Structure 1
Amino acid sequence: MPTSPISLYEEMNALSSRMAAAARIQDWETLKMLARSVAVLRNALPDGDSQLTEAELQQKTVLIQRILDDDAEIRRHTEPWMERVCDFLNPPPRRSKHAQRQARAC
C-alpha cells in the first residue's frame, strides 16, 4: 500500500476513476469493491498537511478535485438506480376501487 500522503491520493484518484467507469456500465459489484479500497486508503491518510511542500499541496488539491469530479459522475449513474430501488421497495399505496374509478373519470 502507498505510504506517502500524495501516493495515497494518487491511488485514490486512480480507484475513483475506475469507480466512475464501473458506474457508467452499471457494474455495481466492482463499484462496491473499489469503494471499499478507497475507504481503506482514506483511513490511512495522516491528519493535517504539515509534512507537505507547497508543490505537494497543489498536487493534493488537483487530485482531490479529480476525485470529486469522479464522485459527481458516479452519483449521476447511481442516484437514478437508487431511486428505482426505493420505488420498488416502497410502492405507492393501493387505491380503493372507488378511488380508481374516480381517477379514470378525470
Structure 2
Amino acid sequence: MNTQLLSYYEAIEQASADMLAAARNGNWDEVVKLEGACVLLISQLKHVAQQQQLAPDESKLKSRIMQRILVNDAEIRHLAEPWLEDLDVMLKGKSRTIH
C-alpha cells in the first residue's frame, strides 16, 4: 500500500475541509492561507506521484477523496461569490476616483 502518496491526497482533503470551515465563518484570510498550503501540498504530490503509483484499490480511495475535495471547492466558491462581487464593486469604485 502506498501510504505516502495517499497521505498527500488526505492532507489536501483536510486542508480543503478547513478552507470550507473558514469560508463558512467568513474568515477569508484563513481561506487564503489554507489555499497557499494546498498549493504547496499539490506541488509535493505531483513530485511524489511521478515516482510512485497507486494500486487499483488505492486509486478508488483517491477518487473518493478527490470527489470530496471538489464538493468542498464548489461550496467555497459559492460562499465566495458575494464577497468577490463586493470586492469587484469596491475596486471599480476606487478606479473611478483615481481617474
Q: Quote the residue 1:51 is aligned against.
A: 53
Q: Quote the residue 1:25 is aligned against.
A: 25
Structure 2: tracts of 5 or more residues without a match: none
Q: Quote the residue 1:79 is aligned against.
A: 81
Q: Specify which structure has the bigger relative contact order, considering alpha-carbon pairs within 8 angstroms and separated by 6 or more residues.
A: 2
Greater radius of gyration (CA): 1
Is the 2:20–2:76 contact (alpha carbons within 8 Å) kept by the matching residues of 1? yes
RMSD: 1.8
Structure 1 length-normalised TM = 0.77
Identity of aligned residues (%): 36
- Amino acid of the structure 1 residue aligned with 2:39: A
Structure 1: tracts of 5 or more residues without a match: 94-106
Give 1:68 shift: 0.4
Q: Quote the residue 1:90 is aligned against.
A: 92
Higher helix share: 2
Give 1:27 shift: 0.2
- Amino acid of the structure 2 residue aligned with 1:68: L
The superposition leaves residues 3-54 of structure 1 with CA deviations (integer Å, 9 ceiling, x where unpaired) of 8211000010011001001001110111111111111110011345962101
Mapped partners of 2:73, 2:82: distance in 1: 15
Number of positions where the alignment pairs a residue of Structure 1 with one of Structure 2: 90
Mapped partners of 2:51, 2:64: distance in 1: 15
Give SS of 1:83's match: helix
Distance 1:49 1:83, change over 3 A: farther
